[in-house]
Amino acid sequence: MTRLSMTLGCWDYDRVQPLMDGRVRPDGIDLRFLNMIVEETFFRMAKFREFDVSEMSMSSFVVSHFKQDRPFVAIPVFPSRFFRHSCIYVNADAGVNEPKDLIGKRFGCPEYQMTAPVWIRGILSEHYGVPVDGPTYVTGGEETPNREEKISIELPDNFRLERIGPEDTLAQMLADGRIDAFHTARKPSTYDGVRVKRLFPNYVEVEKAYWRDTGIFPIMHVIAIRREVYEQNRWVAMNLFKAFREAQNLCYAGLKETAALKGMLPWFNAHVEEAFDLMGEDFWPYGVEKNRATLDVFLRYHHEQGLSPRKLEVDEMFAPETYEEFVI
């Protein structure tokens, strides 16, 4: 039987390594795993659609859904999740001591439509009283100049968006005090805990409290298939979903191994036990129904922040074949 050859752009997370090393092979598919950092993967898929299947920013996927050609179809696999309270940085002299101090400030982010800032702005608004149109948002490269939005966006007039200069970087502007705060996915190189500090220095406790209050483990990335690939071979959606889930199950099994440390952290097993105790054994669920509430909150945030012209519904996001499975 001829197998369909497909390229997958994705980082080498532990939950996908069995797809990378061949321990898991999707039925009917020869998968060529292209291991790249997320910024490169997102840029190449969103701009040039280079891969058959790709890890993709959740926000970029939703923005693309409102483009005329709707270039991608998602499957409910979420290779990246991240609590983001740790990712808000402030200049020590900016007078930002609590979230509400951000109102009226200059708040940097590499791209306004990035998923991490969507979650951060939404959480600040819903849980800390910082209106999403309260700060002025300043965009551009974090560590190198001239970063631009991967996908073009048009925001309502009440949002204030500025571009930094062609030789500027947000990390340095934060240290210099030319922006007051910065929300991002990567810790800036200028973070030192003194001149550049976290808004929530006790972020672990804050994020655990957020989980207890909401049950949300924020989803950052989704797996997207180029629409023409999906339309020509609709069976690939479910076969890929099953393969990603099988790979993740192998990762879960490894986490439960106690004879030796599967990761290099000295108290790796203690961290695993703590996560299971706090969040349950399937603390990183795939599939639509287990993630419906989290996805619905993100889609609401996305619309409230001017990134989608209407609130997208969860059931519009994913290949319909992945909502149900055959049972005997």
pLDDT in tens, 10-30: 999 999 999 999 999 999 999
Q: What number does CATH give the domain 85-214?
A: 3.40.190.10
In the sheet that holds 88-91, the strands lie side by side as: 160-163, 136-139, 106-109, 181-183, 88-91, 196-198
CB 116 within 8 A of CB 108: no
Fold topology of 4-81+219-318? D-Maltodextrin-Binding Protein; domain 2 (3.40.190)
pLDDT in tens, 62-120: 999 999 999 999 999 999 999 999 999 999 999 999 999 999 999 999 999 999 999 99
Look at residue 20 in the predicted model and tell me its pLDDT: 98
Angle at 119 between CA 115 and CA 125, to 5 degrees: 145
Structure tokens, 131: 């209106």
* Beta carbons within 8 Å of 81's beta carbon, 6+ residues apart: 217, 218, 219, 220, 284
Give the pairing type, strands 106-109 and 221-226: unpaired
Residue 55, exposed/middle/buried by CB under 10 A (0-12, 13-18, 19+)? buried
* CB environment 233-268: b (16+ within 10 A), e (fewer): beebbbbbbbbbbebbeebbeebeeeeeebeeeeeb
* CB environment 58-86: b (16+ within 10 A), e (fewer): bbbbbbbbeeeeebbbbbbbbbbbbbbbb
H-run or E-run covering 55? strand 53-57
- Percent of the chain topping pLDDT 90: 98
Structure tokens, 105: 């400030």
Domain range annotation of the chain: 4-81+219-318, 85-214
pLDDT mean over 127-150: 97
pLDDT mean over 166-195: 98
Is 1 a residue whose pLDDT tops 70?
Answer: no
